[in-house]
Chain A
């Protein structure tokens, strides 16, 4: 019986291969590029994280790099700063994107196009240039834009990026105060495809605008929210250029040091590729755990 079953399975596999085999040929180029430029570097990163690798080579040292990281106060500070930044910035950006998309939703199609373009276009700017502008905004001198603005209402001047107490706040503010164009566009598109009947039913029940938003729009947008939360969290974990430019790569007293900033220094300035790879593995683990938690908590069975 079992021989017959195995033979049937083989025949079935051969039939599938005969029928669909040609399609794998089309996938092969992209798959090869994925293997060479994504999969292999990731595997190599994992291997390097278990070595004391420097440019001249390295030896297998097991988990010693991870033990070093666990005892390194600078790395622990970088992890703390990264988590704080990601938590505040992701929450703020999701909220802001949802609110802005909701505000432009009742407008006409032309206004939609205009506002989506308006909010999205800044994203094509160089991140370095944007960071330089923020550096000027949060300059510690009285002529920094933030200090000038606050000075008109009798506040400040504050040290902002010139102080270890305020530098991370300034970096977080620079992200929070930037309207997330990608999120606005995605929410706006998702809102456009929500079923109108639910709103009409709510209208018949006399629901207010806020009640409809709170009880219909927001729950139905959960799949989009999940996608944005995961993507924004990963992007926030990868924070680098803003810190590098605004605070000269770590700020006063390492106040703004982040994991990616430390990976960069450790690999390319200190030449410790193994240790830097271990940091990258920790970051990968963090992103994976957070994504799984987010998927589990925000997963939605709502269909429309």
Chain B
């Protein structure tokens, strides 16, 4: 019993030290301690943590590698006692499995890690996530959709990092050629959008076919346009066969019927669709914000001259654009020092200080790969490029899919085939979505068990 008491005191002191680390290193509202002021307090205990980052490969020039190395370097200036080792792995099933085996089976591996979608729920359900402590100010600062997406059984279980808003890239040269006026301030209704897409679908004298609109095969944005949502607000009932979802799909089907999309639109993967836009074959392309960097890297694409950005077309619904969301999570573990250091670093990665810190580096590093996760971080994103300043305000337009662990199965096995059947005209939108509903509900029930 006495031994237990000693242990408890030690734990308490360890926790106290960890809180000290958080306070000393925390990037929150209070300014960070300057090196000189840090010198007067006792030197914090050295801590080593491991950060697992998908697509990180030491020594390469991938965006994830550059930003991660820069983040670690910048954080070292704020918390010299924390040593961070980064482990990478390519995007894909292989790395997902590595995460699952380490976190779920071995209860080991990363102290802090990037995660997305249903993985957050999976790890939270297994009790493997250490909950962040967010102040009210921080909660209000995060995008509400993102915060909701990282909530498990009423508790926020990870730090929202980014939201990827989808919007429309428009080829201004093709608009000019077809005599179509771009949407004022990037806003248009569905009817205006459809009319523009029809005019922008034409064959040149040399036989080259131009298509008004294209998107990749990995999204369902149009089904949200009239307010349709996959689930009810409690995420218990499948609602993607509601009248609003059906009318959204009907609007999507209309684009196929009007033949404003390339004939292979059902198999256009993201890279293909981008390539078609860059080749000048597509006038309006629906893609996420990351494509801004792709266009900026190409000298012949000048923002405002050759291309611009428009919002997702508006109909009855408010949030109309489908968006992805990513998180930074901290793994639950008994080592209080590591856990506290991991939380402090996770807060830094998702907070407003990292952007300016990385911008100060030589050469400056752009941290925010995607905007709209957090209001206080949107400004720095907009500083990098006028197109980014424009999309930084588009987060409110974005619907973030609530996390459901069985979503990928619902999506790939049932919803996409149903969508394809409707777009091909083999089934009516209502018939296609009604047929999917029982299977989707079954998988939703399974996720809620």
Q: Known contacts A161-B264, A250-B412, A251-B267; decide if A270 and B101 are in contact (CB<8 Å).
A: no
B413 x A252 contact (CB < 8 A): no
> Quick one: CB contact mask for A177-220 with B, threshold 8 Å, 1 for yes?
00000000000000000000000000000000000000000000
B96 x A268 contact (CB < 8 A): yes
Q: Known contacts A253-B424, A270-B408; decide if A56 and B263 are in contact (CB<8 Å).
A: no
> Quick one: CB contact mask for A107-147 with B, threshold 8 Å, 1 for yes?
00000000000000000000000000000000111100000
Residues of chain B contacted by A164 (CB below 8 angstroms):
420-421, 424, 426
Does A225 lie at the interface of the complex (its beta carbon under 8 Å from any beta carbon of B)?
no
Complex: chain A residue closest to B99, CB-CB: A55
CB of A155, distance to nearest CB on chain B (Å):
15
CB of B106, distance to nearest CB on chain A (Å):
11
A74 x B413 contact (CB < 8 A): yes
Complex: chain B residue closest to A249, CB-CB: B412
> Quick one: CB contact mask for B98-111 with A, threshold 8 Å, 1 for yes?
00110011000000
CB of B347, distance to nearest CB on chain A (Å):
28
In-complex Cβ contact of A252 among B122, B266, B412 (8 A): B266
Does B265 lie at the interface of the complex (its beta carbon under 8 Å from any beta carbon of A)?
yes
A141 to B265, CA, bound (A): 10
Residues of chain A contacted by B421 (CB below 8 angstroms):
164, 253
A55 x B267 contact (CB < 8 A): no
CB of A263, distance to nearest CB on chain B (Å):
12
Does B28 lie at the interface of the complex (its beta carbon under 8 Å from any beta carbon of A)?
no
B267 x A270 contact (CB < 8 A): no
Can you list 24 A-B pairs with a CB-CB distance of less than 8 A?
Answer: A55-B100, A55-B101, A55-B105, A74-B413, A139-B264, A141-B262, A141-B263, A142-B209, A162-B263, A167-B267, A248-B217, A253-B424, A253-B426, A254-B413, A254-B417, A264-B93, A265-B412, A268-B93, A268-B94, A268-B97, A269-B412, A270-B406, A270-B413, A272-B409
Does A294 lie at the interface of the complex (its beta carbon under 8 Å from any beta carbon of B)?
no
Does A163 lie at the interface of the complex (its beta carbon under 8 Å from any beta carbon of B)?
yes
Instruction: Show the binding face of A for B, using Cβ within 8 Å.
Output: 55-57, 74, 139-142, 157, 159, 161-164, 167, 247-248, 250-254, 264-265, 268-272
Interface contacts (Cβ under 8 Å), in number, total: 77
> Quick one: CB contact mask for B75-112 with A, threshold 8 Å, 1 for yes?
00000000000000000011011001100110000000
Q: Of residues 415 to 438 in B, which have CB atoms within 8 Å of A's CB atoms? A: 417, 420-421, 424, 426
B420 x A55 contact (CB < 8 A): no
Does B269 lie at the interface of the complex (its beta carbon under 8 Å from any beta carbon of A)?
yes
Does B126 lie at the interface of the complex (its beta carbon under 8 Å from any beta carbon of A)?
yes
B412 x A253 contact (CB < 8 A): no
Complex: chain A residue closest to B211, CB-CB: A141
Residues of chain A contacted by B409 (CB below 8 angstroms):
269-270, 272
CB of A54, distance to nearest CB on chain B (Å):
9
Residue picked from B264, B406, B409, most chain A C-beta under 10 Å: B264
Residues of chain B contacted by A57 (CB below 8 angstroms):
105
In-complex Cβ contact of B266 among A157, A162, A264, A270 (8 A): A162
A162 to B105, CA, bound (A): 41
- Bin chain B's interface residue count: 20 to 34
Q: Of residues 391 to 449 in B, which have CB atoms within 8 Å of A's CB atoms? A: 406, 408-409, 412-414, 417, 420-421, 424, 426
Q: Known contacts A253-B426, A268-B96; decide if A141 and B413 are in contact (CB<8 Å).
A: no
B420 x A253 contact (CB < 8 A): yes
Residues of chain B contacted by A162 (CB below 8 angstroms):
263-267
A238 to B442, CA, bound (A): 30
A253 to B265, CA, bound (A): 13
CB of B122, distance to nearest CB on chain A (Å):
8
A252 x B424 contact (CB < 8 A): yes
A55 to B125, CA, bound (A): 13
In-complex Cβ contact of B93 among A74, A250, A252, A269 (8 A): A269
Complex: chain B residue closest to A135, CB-CB: B267
In-complex Cβ contact of A161 among B101, B209, B262, B267 (8 A): B267
Residues of chain B contacted by A141 (CB below 8 angstroms):
209, 262-264
Residues of chain A contacted by B105 (CB below 8 angstroms):
55-57
CB of A154, distance to nearest CB on chain B (Å):
16
CB of A250, distance to nearest CB on chain B (Å):
7
CB of B128, distance to nearest CB on chain A (Å):
10
Residues of chain B contacted by A142 (CB below 8 angstroms):
209
A180 to B122, CA, bound (A): 45
CB of A244, distance to nearest CB on chain B (Å):
11
Q: Known contacts A55-B105, A265-B412; decide if A248 and B406 are in contact (CB<8 Å).
A: no
What 3 A-B pairs are tightest by C-beta distance, nearest first?
A140-B264, A268-B93, A162-B264
A139 to B426, CA, bound (A): 21
A211 to B328, CA, bound (A): 73
Residues of chain A contacted by B408 (CB below 8 angstroms):
269-270
Residues of chain A contacted by B414 (CB below 8 angstroms):
74
CB of A64, distance to nearest CB on chain B (Å):
14
